[in-house]
Structures are given as structure tokens and as C-alpha cells.
């Protein structure tokens, strides 16, 4: 009889804690949504232009990203007077890279793998909320410390099978770190990004400081956003691949 009672108690405890666990995940997402701004306001943003600055090996670099949400993305990176242009438009993309930077100086089609990896750049806002809206599986992994502060670690599994992890601040509800698994030349690699210095633009919050390991090695690369313009008019010609000279 004691064994039966003990088994029932364990079963009830399991069901109860499972319910709390699932509810906690929903509460974390809800708190994150509240921190980022209303869903209706995010849905009203159809385009964006973001300007940023960063430094690589003593070189000051400026970047300008233009986005038509869900459709097109264009990034212009200016280095020592030379401009690298990368565009993803619909299901395709192209790049124009100066000869001194390993390119041809002419617009070239992006490899399919690179287009697939960059598709997420056509969206703006929280990767966690975008994944939720797309029906991805989101699991609470743990509550832990990150740089001395409490965070929730959530695992995102998209319908495509792609996985990522996000660390949500227990106090602010903002994402402070993300780890994305990427396929680079047939190999799975992890890309780690830190987010901070969140600021409000028309009631919507964006991280103005983004930090990641430098592609050149020797520490981290810190990208500082200088301005964000919401709903600017962006002509379709901005994303069209120009003819070669």
C-alpha cells in the first residue's frame, strides 16, 4: 500500500512540476515580449535602416543595413574608402566586393548556402519571438548565472532542425547572449553573440551594442549602433543586382 501511495505521489509531483516548467517557459517569453515592445507595434514596422560602427585591427569601419521586413536585406560596409555590398532579396542574393579585398569589383551571385545562412537578416527584432511566431519548439534548459547575473537559458529548435540558444535576463527580460549553430563549408560551427545597451526607438527596444568573437582573432569585435530609422521608404532598385560593367 505504501508503495502504491509513493508511486501516486511521484506521478502527481511529476505532472505538477512539468506544468510549472511549461508555464515558466511561457512566462519568460511573455516577460521578454513585454520588454521588447508590443507585438502590434513590431508588426507595424515594414522597413528599417540601421547604421553602425566597429573597429577591426585599428581600422574604423562603418556599416549601413537596409531591410524590407521579410523580403529584402542590404548591407554596405565601408573600409578605407572601399565599400562591400551584400544583398539578400527574396530567395537569392548577390555581393559586390572590391578586388583589393578578394573580390572582382563586380556584382556576383551569392552561394545558396550563404543566402540560406543570411535569410534571418530580412527580419528585425527578437530572434526568440520570431522563432515563437514561426512555430519553433522552445524549451527552458536552466536558470543560471551569466557574468554574475541570473539568466534563463532557452533552446530554440526550428522546424528545419536548426538549433540555437538564447540567454534571457531574469531581471530585464532582454536577450543578453545567443549561441547559433551554423553550417560553414559543410561543418557545424557555433557563433556566440552578446547583446547589451538596449534603447527605445518609438517604443521598441533594440540592443545598441553587439559583441562577438573577431573574425580576425585576438579578442572580440564590438559593434555600436549609431542610429535606427523605422519605416523609411526603400525603393526596390536598392536590392536589385546591377549589371556588370
**C-alpha–C-alpha distance, residues 63 and 52, integer Å:** 5
- Mean pLDDT, all residues of the chain: 85
Answer yes or no: is pLDDT of 36 > 70: yes
What is the distance, to the nearest Å, from the Cα of residue 174 to the centroid of all Cα atoms in its chain?
Answer: 13
Task: Kindly report which listed range (25-39, 178-192, 214-228) carries the lowest average pLDDT score.
Answer: 178-192
**C-alpha–C-alpha distance, residues 239 and 245, integer Å:** 18
Per-residue pLDDT, 150: 94
- Which three cell numbers mark 23? 508555464
Pick from 238, 182, 230: nearest CA to 202: 230
Q: How confident is the model at residue 26 (pLDDT cuts 50, 70, 90)?
A: very high
- Which three cell numbers mark 163? 538549433
Per-residue pLDDT, 182: 66
- Which three cell numbers mark 80? 578605407
Pick from 164, 165, 170: nearest CA to 182: 164
Per-residue pLDDT, 132: 93
Q: How confident is the model at residue 22 (pLDDT cuts 50, 70, 90)?
A: very low
Site of grid cell 523605422: 230
Residue pair 74/50 in contact (Cβ under 8 Å)? The answer is no
Q: Where do the domains of the chain lie, and which CATH numbers do they carry?
A: 2-238 (2.50.20.10)
What is the distance, to the nearest Å, from the Cα of residue 123 to the centroid of all Cα atoms in its chain?
Answer: 9
Pick from 135, 95, 85, 136: nearest CA to 115: 95
Write the pLDDT tens digit of every residue in 42-80.
999 999 999 999 887 777 889 999 999 999 999 999 887
Write the pLDDT tens digit of every residue in 135-194.
999 999 999 999 999 999 999 998 888 889 999 999 999 999 999 876 655 666 778 999
Per-residue pLDDT, 112: 86
Amino acid at each position: 500500500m505504501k508503495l502504491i501511495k509513493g508511486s501516486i505521489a511521484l506521478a502527481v509531483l511529476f505532472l505538477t512540476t512539468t506544468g510549472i516548467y511549461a508555464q515558466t517557459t511561457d512566462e519568460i517569453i511573455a516577460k521578454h515580449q513585454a520588454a521588447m515592445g508590443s507585438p502590434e507595434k513590431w508588426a507595424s514596422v515594414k522597413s528599417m535602416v540601421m547604421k553602425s560602427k566597429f573597429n577591426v585591427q585599428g581600422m574604423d569601419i562603418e556599416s549601413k543595413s537596409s531591410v524590407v521586413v521579410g523580403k529584402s536585406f542590404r548591407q554596405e560596409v565601408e573600409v578605407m574608402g572601399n565599400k562591400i555590398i551584400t544583398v539578400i532579396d527574396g530567395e537569392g542574393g548577390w555581393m559586390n566586393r572590391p578586388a583589393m579585398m578578394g573580390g572582382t569589383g563586380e556584382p556576383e551571385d551569392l552561394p545558396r548556402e550563404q543566402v540560406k545562412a543570411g535569410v534571418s537578416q530580412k527580419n528585425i527584432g527578437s530572434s526568440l519571438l520570431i522563432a515563437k511566431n514561426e512555430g519553433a519548439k522552445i524549451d527552458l534548459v536552466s536558470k543560471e548565472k551569466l557574468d554574475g547575473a541570473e539568466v534563463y537559458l532557452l533552446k530554440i529548435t526550428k522546424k528545419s532542425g536548426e538549433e540555437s540558444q538564447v540567454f534571457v535576463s531574469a531581471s530585464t527580460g532582454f536577450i543578453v547572449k545567443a549561441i547559433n549553430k551554423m553550417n560553414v563549408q559543410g561543418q557545424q560551427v557555433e557563433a556566440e553573440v552578446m547583446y547589451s545597451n538596449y534603447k527605445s526607438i518609438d517604443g521598441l527596444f533594440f540592443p545598441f551594442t553587439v559583441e562577438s568573437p573577431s573574425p580576425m582573432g585576438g579578442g572580440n569585435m564590438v559593434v555600436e549602433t549609431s542610429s535606427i530609422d523605422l519605416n523609411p521608404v526603400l525603393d526596390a532598385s536598392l536590392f536589385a543586382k546591377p549589371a556588370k560593367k
